[in-house]
Each structure stands twice: as structure tokens, then as C-alpha cells.
């Protein structure tokens, strides 16, 4: 169905069904009990049965209610008492599919700040209502929401069935029957753009600019210019839009993207900062600012963006660690671009400060994951600065609590560990992580991209495969009749020449030397240093304990304990190990 170019859309012709207030099922979410009770009283006065009104005083209660009930309306306060605000709760309920697509959402708040209002609008609720609330004002909002829900219900039903062409036809029909409706017009344009039907997008936009101009229509008009290859006109239209409507944040997003593509990098950063300033809890805007700042070597802007992210992390699910990983990847770009070690050290201190801010934001159950991620990041920096032993110790200490629970770690943490493990040749942990990824059917986008990059490094992948084969062959030779020979020892020496800190290779070499009664002090000292003073996975840790005890016993009976013995005794010193771990 095409909308004729010269046809005017009608004003509302067909009346929407009358709302039956008595049949509406409503959930009220407010951490203030008195406020929730007052709102319930107002709803009762509108005509809603009290038995159809549930009240939740925390986000946990709200989740439980939504798991067991189907609501037509969700009314949530913006500022909830715990970690999640009303916007984050709404996002969580949508992600978990605990709200139907035709559930109306009204966010309420006594906070009239620009940040609260614009951040709320960014999650696209049906409406926002400022406190104090009157019966007349509440009833008017609920009528608008119920009417909007009734109109969009068949459109979203089609989208839930992945039938975009049907959704487009229904949206056009709704506009034809009921007249102008800016939300459905905006949805229709989005669907047409998704289908890449720019001819209809242009025809509809031309019509609406005359009949029903909105910020959304002006934005789409600029996108049409960009699609047609006229980026300068697109930028000019967006600049005019933000000048007329400086609080229309979506316009800054596209303006920044177009300016960046047009090599107006400083302007792009300025536009991105403006959008972030209005909506600091929208993480994609934080990352846009950070990336542009890194490209311009603007450490001050990048660190400020990181602090904003840390203070507004989306803690509703595991996505928070993905966002932090994306920021850290951008941070590393800036870090490695520095030519001065002093500047690099300063940046690391700033990153530690960002981590501390994030720790305060996270729930207790989430904090250990951020601590682990931070240690992984610092280990990568140590590797880059040619301090592999320090990097290994830091990595092993941070991972030690998870050696037997690798499967419970988020994909984004596992994928960030792998490059360091590849470098160190820690075959056992690499194998364990590989098994985890084989069993996971869903991986976040950031982890997928990192995994793809890792797989492209075929030299590294093939080297690790060869390492695993060599370790397996060497171990078989070592265990054959429990007698090592010089061939086995040479096997392990060859592996260590390629991977100087490979734990399994050093354990194998120590056992070979022990069984051969060879006391090469330099090699023994080197191997002990590579595996001492750090936790290891349980099987390797047990092997280490056994071989160290055997060496101590044998050295006590010989003349060969003069320089080697202190390294072994250091391993058995509880105070030393405890001090290192702390």
C-alpha cells in the first residue's frame, strides 16, 4: 500500500474504543510506600478496581509480579531505593519479556531535571508524568497511553512474528483510519528504513514535513540527504534541528556520526559530548565520546567519559561488563598510542580510579567480576611492557578463585583472558576456556568480535595447537614406566624455548631432571621461578607440590642445595605466599 504523494492524511476520523477502566490490570512500582498507596487511591478514583492494582516496593518485587501476571499498564517511579531506577527496571522487564508489547508504560518522578526527563525518553516509555500528580492529569495520561497501546498492538503483533511487511501495512492503515499519530508515523519510517525502502521513506517524509512536522521527521529528512550522498546537506539540516530543538538528543547522535565521516573530528566529539551531557546513563553515547577522544589522543575527554560510564553502568544484567570491556578496548588504543611511559602510568592510575567508581555502582555479586577484569587488563599492560612473569602472577592470582568455576565466568571476561594465556602458553586454561565456548550458544557482540580477531591470527592459533600436541607427547613419555630420558627433557626444553613461562613445560622439565638425577641449577632455578609464588589450576598445583617435595627431599641428601634450596623453601613459606596474594 502506497501513500499518495499529494494525499493529505486525515485528522482523526475513526474513534478509538472506549476504555473500560474496570478491566485494566496495573502494576505500581515505587520504593516509597506512602507514594504507592496514594497513587493507588488516585487510580481507584479514576474507576480502576483496587483488586486489579498491584504494588511493588522494589525492583525484585516488580519482577516477581510480572512473572506471574499480565499487566496492561506499568506505572513506575524513576528513583527507586536500590541500585536500579525506573528506566533500568523497564528495560530489564522488556529484555526478559515480562511485559507484553501492548503494555503501556508511564514513568513518574518528582525530579524535574533535564537529565531525568531526557534519559527517560531515551528508553521510549509511553509517557512521563511529573509529581505531584492530579487525578485529571493522571487520567489524561492514561487515556493517551491506552489509546496508543490499542493502535500499536496489531503492529507489534506482526513484528513479534517477524513480519515487517505486514507491520508496515498495518501502520499505514492505522494512519489512514485514525489520522496523524507521531509515534506510529515514526515507527513506520523506522520500519521502511529497516527495509531500505528509501523511495517510500522520502515520499512519506515529504508529506509529513508539510502536514505534521516533528523532530523525528526532520531527523529522517537529514538521513535521506545522507543516503542520497549529500553529507554536507545532512549535517546542515541536523545543525538547524539542534539549534531549533537543542534537547532532541537523537539528532546529536547522527550529527556526530556524519561529522566524523566528513572528517570533522573535533566537531564530531563536541556533538557526541552534548548528547552524553544530556543523557549520561546511555552507554552507547559514552562509548562514542570515548572512541572519538581516543582517535584525537584526547585523554582528558576519554577519562571523563569513563567516569560517566562507571557511575551509570547498566547493572541490570551481564551487559555491564560488556560495556566496560568495550570502553577498556578504547582505553587501550589511547594507552598504546602514548610514547611516554610516564603518560602510560598516569593513564593506568586514571583507569584504576574509574574501576573504583564502578565498584561502588555494582551490586556485591557483580564486584568480583570487575576486580577480575581489572587484573586481566593490568596483566595485558605488563605483557606489553615486557614484564611477562609479573603479568603471569597477576593473572593467576586473579583467576585462582575461578579455576574450578570457569564455566560461570561471562564470555567477555573469558575472551579477554585468552590473548594473555596464548602469550604465556597456559595450555590447560586455554583448553578449559575453549570447552566453555563450545558449549555456549549465545555470545555477546563484543566477545564475538574479539573471538573473530583472535581466530584471524592463524600463526598464534597454530602455535597453540602445536604446543598442546607437544605437551601431550612429552607427558606420555614422562609417564612411561615413570622413567624420564634425555629425549623427554629435550622435549620440554624445546617447548620452554618457545613459551618461556609455560607452567606445564616447567613442571615436566623439573620432573625430568629429578628422575634423571641431573642437577642443572640454572634450569631448575628458571623453572621454579616460572611456577613459584602463584596459584595454578588444581592438577598443576598438585604436580608442583609433589615435584617440589621430591626435590627438597633429594637435595637434603646431596651437595646440590646451596643455591636452589631457598627457591623451594620460599614456595613452602606460608607467609610469603599470603603476602603475595594479598
Helix or strand run (H / E) with residue 53: strand 53-56
User: Is pLDDT of 203 > 90?
Assistant: yes
**Comparing 115-129, 206-220, 380-394, which segment has the lowest mean pLDDT?**
115-129
Q: Look up cell 607427547; give the residue.
A: 473
Residue 127: predicted pLDDT: 87
Residue 293: predicted pLDDT: 98
| Residue 520 resides in a domain | yes
Residue 485: predicted pLDDT: 81
User: Is pLDDT of 114 > 90?
Assistant: no
What is the CA angle 451-457-463, rounded to 5? 110
Q: How far is the first Cα of the chain from the last one, in angstroms, to the nearest whole number?
A: 69
User: Is pLDDT of 248 > 80?
Assistant: yes
| Residue 78 resides in a domain | yes
C-alpha cell at 392: 603471569
User: Is pLDDT of 539 > 70?
Assistant: yes
DSSP string covering 185-242:
HHHHHHHHHHTT-HHHHHHHHHHHHHHS--HHHHHHHHHHHHHTT-HHHHHHHHHHHH
Residue 375: predicted pLDDT: 95
Mean pLDDT computed over 522-532: 93
C-alpha cell at 554: 633429594
User: Is pLDDT of 211 > 80?
Assistant: yes
- Among the candidates 110, 131, 154, a domain finishes at 154
**Average pLDDT of the residues of the chain:** 89
d(CA 229, CA 354): 40
The predicted-structure confidence for 371-407, as pLDDT tens digits, reads as follows 999 999 999 999 999 999 999 999 999 999 999 999 9
Strand partners, 29: 56, 76
Neighbour-count burial of 46, counting CB atoms closer than 10 A to its CB (0-12 exposed, 13-18 middle, 19+ buried) = middle
| Cβ pair 189, 222 in contact under 8 A | no
Domain coverage including residue 536: 461-576
| Cβ pair 413, 376 in contact under 8 A | yes
pTM for this entry: 0.84
Neighbour-count burial of 139, counting CB atoms closer than 10 A to its CB (0-12 exposed, 13-18 middle, 19+ buried) = middle
d(CA 134, CA 185): 30
Checking phi first, is residue 229 left (phi over 0); if not, alpha (psi -120 to 50) or beta? Answer: left
- Among the candidates 120, 154, 188, a domain finishes at 154
| Cβ pair 547, 536 in contact under 8 A | no
| Residue 448 resides in a domain | no
d(CA 73, CA 461): 53
| Residue 181 resides in a domain | no
| Residue 469 resides in a domain | yes
Mean pLDDT computed over 364-370: 93
**Bigger pLDDT: 254 or 111?**
254
Give 582's pLDDT tier (boundaries 50, 70, 90).
Answer: very low
User: Is pLDDT of 14 > 70?
Assistant: no
Indicate the number of domains in the chain: 2
Residue 574: predicted pLDDT: 42
| Residue 547 resides in a domain | yes
Report the length, in residues, of the chain. Answer: 582
**Comparing 207-211, 217-221, 457-461, which segment has the lowest mean pLDDT?**
207-211
Buried b (16+ CB within 10 A) or exposed e, 6-43: eeebeeeeeeeeebebeebbbbbbbbeeebbebbbeeb
- Among the candidates 104, 130, 154, a domain finishes at 154
| Residue 13 resides in a domain | no
Mean pLDDT computed over 442-453: 90
* CATH number of the domain within which 119 lies: 3.40.50.2300
What lies within 8 Å, CB to CB, of 517 at 6+ separation is: none
Residue 471: predicted pLDDT: 96
DSSP string covering 117-174:
HHHHHHT--SEEEESS--HHHHHHHHHHHHHHHHHHHHHHHHHHTT-HHHHHHHHHHH
Give 46's pLDDT tier (boundaries 50, 70, 90).
Answer: very high
| Residue 402 resides in a domain | no
The predicted-structure confidence for 321-353, as pLDDT tens digits, reads as follows 999 999 999 999 999 999 999 999 999 999 999
d(CA 270, CA 274): 6
Amino acid at each position: 500500500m502506497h501513500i499518495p504523494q499529494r494525499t493529505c492524511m486525515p485528522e482523526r476520523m475513526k474513534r478509538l474504543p472506549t476504555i473500560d477502566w474496570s478491566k485494566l490490570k496495573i502494576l505500581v512500582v515505587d520504593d516509597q510506600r506512602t507514594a504507592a498507596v496514594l497513587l493507588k487511591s488516585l487510580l481507584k478514583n479514576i474507576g480502576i478496581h483496587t483488586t486489579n492494582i498491584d504494588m511493588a516496593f522494589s525492583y525484585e518485587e516488580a519482577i516477581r509480579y510480572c512473572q506471574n501476571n499480565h499487566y496492561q499498564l506499568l506505572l513506575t517511579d524513576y528513583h527507586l531505593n536500590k541500585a536500579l531506577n525506573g528506566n533500568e527496571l523497564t528495560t530489564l522487564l522488556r529484555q526478559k519479556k515480562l511485559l507484553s508489547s501492548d503494555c503501556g508504560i508511564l514513568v513518574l518522578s518528582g525530579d524535574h531535571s533535564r537529565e531525568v526527563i531526557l534519559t527517560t525518553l531515551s528508553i521510549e516509555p509511553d509517557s512521563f508524568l511529573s509529581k505531584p500528580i492530579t487525578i485529571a492529569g493522571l487520567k489524561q495520561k492514561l487515556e493517551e497511553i491506552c489509546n496508543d497501546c490499542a493502535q500499536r498492538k496489531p503492529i507489534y503483533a506482526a513484528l513479534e512474528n517477524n513480519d515487517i511487511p505486514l507491520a508496515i501495512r498495518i501502520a499505514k492503515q492505522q494512519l489512514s483510519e485514525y489520522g496523524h499519530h507521531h509515534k506510529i508515523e515514526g515507527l513506520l519510517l523506522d520500519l521502511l528504513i529497516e527495509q531500505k525502502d528509501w523511495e517510500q521513506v522520502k515520499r512519506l517524509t515529504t508529506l509529513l514535513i508539510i502536514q505534521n512536522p516533528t523532530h523525528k521527521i526532520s531527523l529522517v529528512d537529514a538521513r535521506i540527504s545522507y543516503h542520497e550522498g549529500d553529507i554536507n546537506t545532512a549535517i546542515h539540516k541536523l545543525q538547524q534541528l539542534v539549534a531549533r530543538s537543542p534537547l532532541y538528543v537523537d539528532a546529536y547522535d547522527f550529527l556526530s556520526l556524519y561529522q566524523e565521516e566528513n572528517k570533522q573530528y573535533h566537531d564530531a566529539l563536541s556533538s557526541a559530548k552534548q548528547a552524553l551531557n544530556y543523557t549520561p546513563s546511555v552507554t552507547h553515547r559514552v562509548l562514542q565520546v570515548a572512541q572519538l577522544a581516543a582517535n584525537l589522543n584526547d585523554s582528558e575527554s576519554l577519562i571523563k567519559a569513563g567516569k560517566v560510564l562507571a557511575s551509570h553502568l547498566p547493572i541490570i544484567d551481564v551487559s555491564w561488563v560488556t560495556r566496560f570491556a568495550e570502553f577498556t578496548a578504547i582505553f587501550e588504543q589511547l594507552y598504546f598510542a602514548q610514547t611516554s611511559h610516564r603518560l602510560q602510568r598516569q593513564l593506568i592510575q586514571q583507569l584504576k580510579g574509574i574501576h573504583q567508581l564502578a565498584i561502588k555502582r555494582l551490586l556485591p555479586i557483580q564486584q568480583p567480576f570487575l576486580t577480575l577484569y581489572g587484573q586481566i587488563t593490568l596483566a595485558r599492560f605488563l605483557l606489553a611492557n615486557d614484564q611477562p612473569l609479573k603479568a603471569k602472577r597477576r593473572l593467576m592470582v586473579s583467576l585462582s578463585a575461578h579455576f574450578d568455576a570457569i564455566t560461570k565466568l561471562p564470555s567477555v571476561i573469558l575472551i579477554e583472558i585468552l590473548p594473555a594465556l596464548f602469550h604465556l602458553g597456559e595450555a590447560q586454561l586455554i583448553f578449559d576456556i575453549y570447552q566453555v565456548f563450545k558449549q555456549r550458544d549465545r555470545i555477546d557482540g563484543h566477545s564475538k568480535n574479539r573471538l573473530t580477531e583472535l581466530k584471524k591470527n592463524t600463526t598464534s592459533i597454530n602455535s597453540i595447537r602445536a604446543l598442546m600436541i607437544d605437551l601431550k607427547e612429552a607427558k606420555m613419555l614422562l609417564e612411561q614406566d615413570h622413567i624420564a630420558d634425555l629425549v623427554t627433557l629435550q622435549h620440554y626444553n624445546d617447548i620452554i624455548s618457545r613459551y618461556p613461562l609455560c607452567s606445564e613445560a616447567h613442571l615436566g622439565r623439573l620432573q625430568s631432571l629429578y628422575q634423571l638425577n641431573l642437577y642443572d641449577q640454572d634450569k631448575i632455578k628458571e623453572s621454579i621461578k616460572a611456577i613459584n609464588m602463584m596459584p595454578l589450576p588444581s592438577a598443576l598445583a598438585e604436580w608442583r607440590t609433589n615435584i617440589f617435595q621430591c626435590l627438597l627431599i633429594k637435595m637434603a641428601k646431596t651437595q646440590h642445595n646451596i643455591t636452589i634450596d631457598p627457591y623451594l623453601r620460599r614456595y613452602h613459606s606460608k607467609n610469603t605466599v599470603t603476602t603475595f596474594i594479598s
